[in-house]
Every structure is written in structure tokens, then in C-alpha cells.
């Protein structure tokens, strides 16, 4: 059932291994990358409570020693204080230039640990062991690392590719339904942005993989990672095509800011709602058929996912304010907002040529449904 996706970046190529039970075998898998049998692990308290013993046993089976630092779970950890704490802890553990750090957790841990690895002793290697669906299909692959600033998310960071990614799909079994579906928002994004056949496969198989079908989980993660790898190899530092991965994200970032980056809206939920809005906008601009946004929304709803603004608990600001929040996005170039729009499901493109009025009307209509 195991699958390997190779990321062929010149001089920094690596494998993403996907399958159930990788943790039990982690020592044997990472041993070829170690100069000495010792690793430092950055994780969070939730993942540590559920899976750290399995990781420790898997390492011990190959005679590898580990020290671990468990950070508080949640987005607030992607901050200077926790970053400083992590880097100082790694230095206290006497992590050397040739050592390897393990990032064992979801997107928060992966981004923070990767950034710590990028600056520690001017750069040490790190291995991603993503434990959330979102991290397995997106954030653990491609080398974007970083933390949040007061001014916005992910504004401080570095490109630093991992040495190996081990995505153990068995671990997904301990996720809450909400977290699993939030990660699924990123899975379905790949179908919407570049692979209509994958989207159709998800329409058929999404409910089965959500219910726990392991072969389908492996297939969905592997296809997502393959698409991400292809895009990252074409455009590692996001000069062009990599921005396609941000389908739904311009809307999502505004919604996350409007809900205070809180539990009211998880990132993957915002991505799903943002994708539905991006298809609505594309349809209104005459770029894609009217059926496409309906099909996107129908699949998200069939999966029991947040789909519309009305699915977000609590009040939202008006359309003008949401548009202003989009202006804080990293993708603003020379004051111009960039959108990822679509010609059809599976055919997205990047454009800065979007009339503000069209965005406002999509948002106003979506907000009107909340009343
Ligand atoms: N998550 C978007 C990217 O890696 O480019």
C-alpha cells in the first residue's frame, strides 16, 4: 500500500513516503540520513501524548536516541517566543551541524521546526513527520517554513527543503473529524486547481476515505503530494506557478483574519470556503461555467464540510472590510491583489486582473446568505 513521491529538486532532492505504520519503522527509514544515532524532535503536546512513545520505540528499534521538546498546540505557537525557545533548546541539546531535527506534528510544528532548522548553525537538515492530513498533503512538502508576525501569517520564514518526509497515514486515525475534514479542504483543492479526474475521483471516494478506508487515504495523499511536488519543482520560490497552490487562499486569509485566527475557522476550512468563493467569482466573470461553483459546493457539502460564509459561527465584517483584509495578503504585488481563478474544475490560473466590484459583489451576496 506504501507509495513514494520523489521531489527532484536539484541538489536537494528528497522522497515523500506515504503509508500506514511508518512510525513503527521510523528508525530504519531515517538511519541512512544520520551521521550519529541521535535526533532532536520538535513536536506539540497533543501529538506527543498520542504518538511520541511510538516514535521513540520506532527509533530505539534502530538504536537511535531521541530528545523531544513538546510545544503548546495551536497556531499561536508559530511565534517568536516559541521559536526562540525551540532554537535555544536545540542548542542546549548540542545539536550539531550534521545532525537531523525531526518535525513531528501538524503544520504549526512543521513550519516552526523547519524554520528553526534553516537558521540553526546556519542550517541543519530536518525530516518532516507530518501527523495531520493538512501537513501530509501540503505544508510538509515544498520547503516553506516560518512563523507568524503581528502583521500577518507566515511573514517571517525561509525556504528550507526537508531531507525526507514520512507521512504515516495510520496516524490520521487519531484526528478529530473536524481536523480531518479541514485537511481534506487542501486535498480537494488539488483536484480543483489542476486535475479534474482527481476531483471526480474524490467525489466518488471522498466519503470512503473520510470513513477510514486506508488504501484510499494513501491514494489521496499520494496524488496530492505528487501534484504539489510537480508544482514545487517547476517553481520552488513562487515566482509563478506555485501560486496556484493558493487557490481559495486570498478569501481564506481575509476570513481567518476576520475570525481572529481562532477556532471559529480552521485554515483548511477557510481554504474550502475560499475555493467555493473563487469558483463563484470565476463564474461571475464568465471564466468558468455556472455549474462549476455548484459542483464544488455540492462536493464540500456532501463531505460535511464548511462551504459557505453562513457555516462560520458568529458575526463577520462587511464585504468592504473583508476586501481590505485581503489587501494584507502576502500575494499583494505593487498594491494589486492576486487571485487564483479557474476556467473549469482542474484548470486554475493566476491573475491580478480582477475588478474590485466583482469581488465585493461575490462577498456581499455570500454575506447576505448569513442573515
Ligand atoms: N501551501 C502553499 C505552498 O506550499 O506553496
Q: How far apart are CA 268 and CA 103, in angstroms?
A: 20
107 CB near ligand 1 (under 6 Å): no
Is the pLDDT at 330 greater than 80? The verdict is no
Q: Is 249 designated active site?
A: yes
Q: Is 148 designated active site?
A: no
Which superfamily, per CATH, for 177-368?
Dehydroquinate synthase-like - alpha domain (1.20.1090.10)
Q: With beta carbons less than 8 A apart as the criterion, state whether 336 and 343 touch.
A: no
Element (H, E) at 4: strand 3-7
Measured over the CA atoms of residue 226, residue 232, residue 238 and residue 240, the dihedral's sign is negative
> Which atom belonging to ligand 1 lies closest to the Cα atom of 246?
2
268 CB near ligand 1 (under 6 Å): no
* Packing angle of the helix pair 319-326, 249-258 (nearest 10 deg): 110
Q: How far apart are CA 271 and CA 288, in angstroms?
A: 19
Estimate to the nearest angstrom the gap between the alpha carbon of 91 and the chain centroid.
28
Q: With beta carbons less than 8 A apart as the criterion, state whether 186 and 138 touch.
A: yes
Q: Residue 61 has what pLDDT?
A: 98
Q: How far apart are CA 26 and CA 43, in angstroms?
A: 15
* Whole-Å CA distances, 229 to 14, 272, 288, 314, 355: 10, 21, 26, 37, 32
| Bridge partners, 250 (sequence order) | none
Three-class SS state of 367: helix
What's the rounded mean pLDDT across residues 170-191?
97
157 CB near ligand 1 (under 6 Å): no
Is the pLDDT at 241 greater than 70? The verdict is yes
Q: Is 228 designated active site?
A: yes
> Which residues, including other chains, have CB under 8 Å from residue 297's CB and lie 6 or more apart?
276, 307, 308
Say how many Å lie between the CA of residue 231 and the centre of ligand 1: 10
Say how many Å lie between the CA of residue 146 and the centre of ligand 1: 12
CA 269-270-274 angle, 5° bins: 120
Q: How far apart are CA 255 and CA 362, in angstroms?
A: 14
**Backbone phi and psi for residue 73, each to the nearest 5 degrees, phi listed first:** -70, 155
Confidence of residue 351 (pLDDT cuts 50, 70, 90): very high
Domain 3-174 has CATH 3.40.50.1970: yes
Three-class SS state of 34: coil
Q: With beta carbons less than 8 A apart as the criterion, state whether 340 and 244 touch.
A: yes
Is the pLDDT at 327 greater than 80? The verdict is no
| Bridge partners, 147 (sequence order) | 156
> Which atom belonging to ligand 1 lies closest to the Cα atom of 238?
5
Q: Residue 338 has what pLDDT?
A: 85
Say how many Å lie between the CA of residue 339 and the centre of ligand 1: 15
Q: Residue 285 has what pLDDT?
A: 96
Confidence of residue 353 (pLDDT cuts 50, 70, 90): confident
Q: Residue 99 has what pLDDT?
A: 98
Grid-cell match 464540500, residue found: 300
Q: Which three cell numbers stand for residue 28?
A: 530504519
Taking only the tens place, the pLDDT of each residue in 106-149 is: 999 999 999 999 999 999 999 999 999 999 999 999 999 999 99
Is the pLDDT at 335 greater than 80? The verdict is no
Closest CA to 232 of 143, 152, 299, 146: 143
Confidence of residue 269 (pLDDT cuts 50, 70, 90): very high
Q: Residue 331 has what pLDDT?
A: 58
Say how many Å lie between the CA of residue 252 and the centre of ligand 1: 14
Q: Residue 332 has what pLDDT?
A: 60
**HSE (side-chain half, CA atoms, 13 Å) at 315:** 3
What's the rounded mean pLDDT across residues 161-172?
98
Is the pLDDT at 371 greater than 90? The verdict is no
Q: Which pTM was predicted?
A: 0.95
Ligand 1 pocket mutation, candidates 225, 245, 271, criterion most atoms within 8 A of CB: 245
Q: Name the residue ranges covered by the structural domains of the chain.
A: 3-174, 177-368
Active-site residue identified among 56, 153, 249, 299: 249
Three-class SS state of 69: strand
Q: How far apart are CA 238 and CA 331, in angstroms?
A: 10
* Whole-Å CA distances, 45 to 21, 27, 52, 111, 167: 21, 22, 9, 16, 19
Amino acid at each position: 500500500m506504501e507509495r513514494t513521491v520523489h521531489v527532484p529538486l536539484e541538489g536537494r532532492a528528497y522522497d515523500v513516503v506515504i503509508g500506514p505504520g511508518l512510525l513503527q519503522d521510523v528508525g530504519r527509514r531515517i538511519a541512512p540520513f544520520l551521521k550519529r544515532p541521535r535526533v532532536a524532535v520538535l513536536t506539540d503536546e497533543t501529538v506527543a501524548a498520542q504518538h511520541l512513545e511510538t516514535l521513540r520505540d520506532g527509533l530505539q528499534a534502530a538504536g537511535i536516541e531521541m530528545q523531544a521538546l513538546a510545544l503548546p498546540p495551536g497556531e499561536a505557537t508559530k511565534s517568536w517566543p516559541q521559536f526562540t525557545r525551540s532554537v535555544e533548546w536545540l542548542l542546549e541539546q548540542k545539536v550539531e551541524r550534521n545532525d537531523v531535527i525531526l518535525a513531528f506534528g501538524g503544520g504549526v510544528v512543521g513550519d516552526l521546526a523547519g524554520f528553526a532548522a534553516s537558521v540553526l548553525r546556519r542550517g541543519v537538515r530536518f525530516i518532516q513527520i507530518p501527523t495531520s492530513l493538512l501537513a501530509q498533503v501540503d505544508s510538509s512538502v515544498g520547503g516553506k517554513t516560518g512563523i507568524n508576525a503581528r502583521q500577518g501569517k507566515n511573514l517571517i520564514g525561509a525556504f528550507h527543503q526537508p531531507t525526507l518526509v514520512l507521512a504515516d497515514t495510520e496516524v490520521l486515525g487519531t484526528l478529530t473529524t473536524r481536523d480531518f475534514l479541514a485537511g481534506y479542504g487542501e486535498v480537494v483543492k488539488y483536484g480543483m486547481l489542476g486535475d479534474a479526474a482527481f476531483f471526480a475521483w474524490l467525489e466518488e471516494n471522498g466519503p470512503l476515505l473520510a470513513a477510514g478506508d486506508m488504501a484510499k487515504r494513501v491514494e489521496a495523499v499520494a496524488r496530492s503530494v505528487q501534484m504539489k511536488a510537480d508544482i514545487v519543482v517547476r517553481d520552488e520560490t513562487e515566482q509563478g506557478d506555485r501560486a496556484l497552490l493558493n487557490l481559495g487562499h486570498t478569501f481564506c486569509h481575509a476570513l481567518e483574519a476576520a475570525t481572529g485566527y481562532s477556532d471559529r475557522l480552521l485554515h483548511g476550512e477557510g481554504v474550502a470556503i475560499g475555493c467555493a468563493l473563487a469558483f463563484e467569482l470565476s463564474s461571475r466573470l464568465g471564466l468558468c461555467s455556472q455549474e462549476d461553483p455548484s459542483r464544488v459546493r455540492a462536493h464540500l457539502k456532501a463531505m460535511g464540510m464548511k462551504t459557505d460564509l453562513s457555516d462560520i459561527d458568529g458575526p463577520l465584517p462587511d464585504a468592504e472590510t473583508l476586501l481590505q483584509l485581503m489587501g494584507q495578503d502576502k500575494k499583494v504585488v505593487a498594491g494589486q491583489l492576486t487571485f487564483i481563478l479557474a476556467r473549469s474544475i482542474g484548470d486554475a490560473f493566476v491573475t491580478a486582473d480582477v475588478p474590485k466590484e466583482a469581488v465585493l459583489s461575490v462577498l456581499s451576496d455570500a454575506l447576505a446568505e448569513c442573515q
